[in-house]
């Protein structure tokens, strides 16, 4: 089953439920046959006049045409390069350029101007849909999509994922969920985030209905579950935690059969809130970096079980079928119970778009190549893998992966000639970014506006402070611990 | 469209911006995310707008684009036939 194309999984749903609902987005409700036809219309437009696009940028909001175009790009034999509808044009342009897109599908008036030679498509070709035939010679080793994650060098890193990678994930993951025609699955994550691919192909691989939700809608889960009659919920823990703070009632999500969380550690307290709101739901905590295709371990917390682990977060459990792990000790050798989680298997990507980013991210052990996740884990005899934290400067903000260096680099660009240091601070709202500009207060007041022109919203610091000089450690480097303490002090005093 | 927005709407938006410096002028095209308006803050702003203007923001208008700038918020209220 791993030697399949990603769009083959959609055809499973199409065969199982041809006249049942496949997609609800805004006011649109499409059945499987209609969605297939719309996807073909996009594929026809992409391949008109003998074009054979390789990589296609997709820049649009959560409307029916966006989802149809996602499928249509696959039908056309190209890799999807999702771009952010709410991301500054300059960043989208950098991503599109790094990915080497040769066509751009967009419904956004705010679209950036792509490079020369990039075809821009704003509408499908409905008359061409019926006659469309997929190109010959497609293989599971072809790229299905390319996503970008925050990079420690200050620039986003491209992660190419093949059809085989994602088919291996779906082969292992779909049997975990008894979902099919009649089920309605949430789609909350932006398409620039690979967890969205789980939403799309969990629904479409089984004949269920995909329900597109904006983050604003999803922040009222009880309303969403009621109005969309959702049976499957998938979001970050932060989102449900934020919703819980403003009111989540016992039984308020009782229609749910599954509640799945991913993207960041799941606090036990948040999981308990979910179990109270959705007493009939199976609770799954899944884990995985983009490089290992969506998720590569899972822990199912059974409703009657008391937690038998000691950390304040729910374990990440055991690897999905086909994936192997090893814990790497500080001496670079496999360790018994605690170390950096390294994984390999059919879901592992082949390497970053820019091979320079591969350095230090892989390790050769036992005759195999392993991806180093950077996550420190403990192996518990009963619970499986338990996430302990990270040693580097990658952080999670509301489930988004952020490299502090990338935010610092943007600050230096927003205030030329000045240094900056960024750290996290924990508040009642969750983990937030705090930025320090080093030196005298900046001349102009619009630092924040300029920063918003460089970074997506989730990377914008919640706190921006001026510090006369950076605290240094004994090696003359910025003392990160001192910065975090200063940030905690300032955030705590409400300034 | 004028450069600034009406006083009542100005006050509601300003209250939803945790990192707005004193004296910040809310021009129509100011990116609100730059001053700390995240999605959780936006939900709070929506509730405040609904209370202040006696309107209901329907589900299909709960899209980030409607809360990106003061001008977008005002345009939303105009669509909802709210007089600010």
Q: What is the DSSP secondary-structure string of A453-474?
A: TTS-GGGS-SEEEEESS--B-T
Which residue in the block uniquely carries the two structure tokens 């192997």?
A324
Length of chain B: 84
Q: How large is the average pLDDT for residues A91-95?
A: 93
**If we measure between CA atoms, which residue out of A329, A487, A353 comes closest to residue A423?**
A487
- Report the run of H or E that residue A89 belongs to, with start and end: helix A89-99
Residues in chain A closer than 8 A to B30 (CB atoms): 449
Number of cross-chain residue pairs from A and B with Cβ atoms under 8 Å apart = 62
Whether the CB-CB separation of A372 and A362 falls below 8 Å is answered with yes
The length of chain A is 495
Do residue A451 and residue B43 have CB atoms under 8 angstroms apart? no
Whole-number Cα distances in Å, A372 to A103, A158, A301, A400: 33, 16, 26, 19
Contacts of A458 in chain B (CB under 8 A): 38
Q: Under a CB-based contact definition with an 8 Å cutoff, are residues B69 and B30 in contact?
A: yes
B43, A220: Cβ pair inside 8 Å? yes
A6-301 maps to CATH 3.40.50.12780: yes
Task: Choose among B19, B30, B39: nearest Cβ to A462.
Answer: B19
What is the tally of structural domains in chain B?
1
What average pLDDT score do residues A124-140 get? 95
B84 assigned to some structural domain: no
Q: Which H/E stretch holds residue A317?
A: none
Residue B2 forms part of a structural domain = no
pLDDT at B22 over 90: no
Q: Does B28 touch chain A (CB under 8 A)?
A: no
∠ CA A273-A274-A279, nearest 5°, is 110
For chain A, percent of residues with pLDDT exceeding 70: 98
Residue ranges making up the domain that contains B60: 7-79
> In chain B, whose CA is at the least distance from the CA of A215?
B39
**pLDDT in the model for residue A444:** 67
Residues of chain A in contact with residue B73, where contact means CB-CB under 8 angstroms, are: none
* Residue A428 to chain B, least CA–CA distance (Å): 13
Mean pLDDT, rounded, for A323-341: 95
Most confident residue range from A63-77, A242-256, A298-312, A425-439? A63-77
Instruction: Report helix angle A163-173 to A6-16, nearest 10.
Output: 40
Query: Residue A189's pLDDT band (boundaries 50, 70, 90)?
Result: very high
Give the per-residue pLDDT at B84: 60
Residue of B nearest to A461 (CA): B36
For position B52, which CATH number holds?
1.10.1200.10
Q: How far is B83 from chain A (nearest CA, A)?
A: 24
B65 assigned to some structural domain: yes
Are A216 and B33 a contacting pair at CB < 8 A?
no
> Any idea of the CA torsion for A202, A205, A209, A211, to the nearest 10 degrees?
40
Domain boundaries, chain A: 6-301, 397-492
pLDDT (tens digit per residue) in A415-452: 988 889 999 999 888 899 999 998 888 876 688 889 99
pLDDT 10s digits, A25-74: 998 999 999 999 999 999 999 999 999 999 999 998 899 999 999 999 99
Decide: pTM greater than 0.95: no
Contact A420/A453 with Cβ under 8 angstroms?
A: no
What beta strand segments (E) does A54-190 contain?
Answer: 55-59, 79-82, 103-106, 119-121, 143-149, 157-162, 184-187
Contacts of residue B40 in chain A, CB cutoff 8 Å? 219, 242, 429
Yes or no: domain A397-492 corresponds to CATH 3.40.630.10:
no
Distance CA A214, CA A196 (A): 12
Residue with token string 């006696």: B54
Contacts with A398 from chain B: Cβ below 8 Å: 38
* Chain centroid, CA A423 distance in Å: 22
What is the predicted pLDDT for the residue at A194?
A: 95
**CA-CA distances (angstroms) from residue A258 to A96, A179, A358, A425?**
36, 9, 36, 32
Residue B46 falls inside a structural domain: yes
Helices and strands, counts by H and E, chain A: 14, 25
Report d(CA B84, CA A40) in Å as an integer: 46
Question: ipTM higher than 0.85?
Answer: no
Q: Which of residues 54-73 of B touch A (CB under 8 A)?
A: 59-60, 62-65, 67-68
- Chain B residue numbers with beta carbons less than 8 Å from the beta carbon of A242 are 39-40
Q: Is B52's Cβ below 8 Å from some Cβ in A?
A: no
Rounded average pLDDT over A293-313: 85
């Amino acid at each position: 089953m791993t030697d399949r194309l990603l769009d083959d999984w959609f055809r499973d749903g199409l065969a199982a439920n041809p006249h049942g609902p496949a997609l609800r987005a805004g006011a649109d409700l499409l059945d499987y046959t209609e969605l297939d036809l719309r996807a073909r219309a996009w594929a026809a437009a992409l391949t008109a006049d003998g074009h054979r696009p390789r990589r296609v940028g997709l820049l649009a909001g959560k409307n029916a045409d966006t989802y149809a175009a996602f499928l249509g790009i696959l039908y056309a034999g190209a890799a999807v390069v999702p771009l952010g509808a709410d991301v500054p044009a300059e960043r989208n342009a950098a991503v599109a350029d790094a990915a080497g897109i040769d066509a751009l599908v967009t419904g956004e008036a705010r679209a950036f101007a792509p490079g020369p030679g990039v075809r821009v498509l704003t509408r499908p070709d409905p008359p061409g849909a019926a006659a469309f035939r997929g190109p010959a010679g497609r293989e599971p080793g072809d790229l299905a999509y390319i996503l970008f994650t925050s990079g420690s060098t200050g620039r986003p890193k491209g992660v190419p994922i093949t059809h085989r990678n994602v088919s291996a994930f779906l082969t292992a993951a779909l049997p975990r969920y008894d979902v099919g025609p009649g089920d309605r699955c949430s789609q909350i994550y932006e398409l620039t985030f690979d967890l969205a691919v789980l939403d799309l192909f969990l629904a479409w691989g089984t004949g269920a209905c995909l329900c597109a939700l904006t983050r604003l809608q999803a922040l009222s889960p009880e309303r969403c579950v009621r109005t969309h009659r959702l049976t499957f919920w998938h979001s970050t823990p932060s989102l449900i935690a934020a919703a819980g703070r403003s009111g989540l009632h016992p039984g308020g999500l009782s229609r749910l059969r599954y509640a799945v969380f991913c993207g960041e550690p799941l606090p036990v307290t948040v999981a308990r809130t979910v179990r109270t709101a959705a007493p009939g739901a199976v609770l799954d905590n899944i884990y995985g970096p983009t490089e290992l295709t969506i998720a590569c371990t899972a822990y199912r917390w059974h409703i009657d079980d008391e937690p038998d682990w000691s950390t304040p977060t729910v374990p990440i459990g055991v690897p999905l079928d086909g994936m192997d792990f090893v814990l790497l000790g500080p001496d670079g050798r496999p360790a018994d119970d605690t170390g950096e989680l390294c994984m390999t298997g059919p879901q592992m990507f082949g390497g970053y778009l820019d091979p320079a980013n591969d350095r230090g991210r892989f390790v050769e052990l036992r005759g195999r190549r392993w991806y180093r996740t950077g996550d420190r884990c403990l192996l518990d005899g009963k619970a499986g893998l338990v996430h302990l934290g990270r040693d580097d400067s990658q952080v999670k903000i509301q489930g988004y992966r952020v490299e502090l260096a990338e935010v610092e680099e943007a600050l230096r660009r927003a205030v030329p000639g000045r240094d900056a240091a960024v750290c996290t601070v924990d508040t009642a709202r969750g983990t937030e970014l705090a930025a320090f500009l080093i030196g005298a207060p900046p001349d102009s007041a619009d630092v924040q506006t300029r920063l918003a022109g460089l970074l997506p919203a989730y990377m914008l610091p919640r706190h921006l402070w001026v510090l006369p000089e950076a605290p240094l450690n004994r090696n003359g480097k910025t003392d990160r611990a001192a910065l975090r303490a200063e940030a905690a002090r300032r955030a705590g005093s409400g300034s | 469209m004028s450069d600034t927005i009406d006083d009542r709407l100005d006050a509601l938006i300003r209250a939803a911006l945790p990192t707005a410096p004193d004296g910040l002028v809310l021009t129509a095209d100011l990116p609100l995310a730059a001053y700390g308006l995240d999605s959780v803050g936006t939900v709070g702003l929506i509730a405040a707008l609904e209370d202040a203007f006696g309107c209901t923001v329907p589900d299909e208008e709960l899209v980030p684009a409607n809360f990106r700038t003061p001008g977008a918020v005002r345009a939303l209220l105009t669509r909802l036939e709210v007089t600010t």
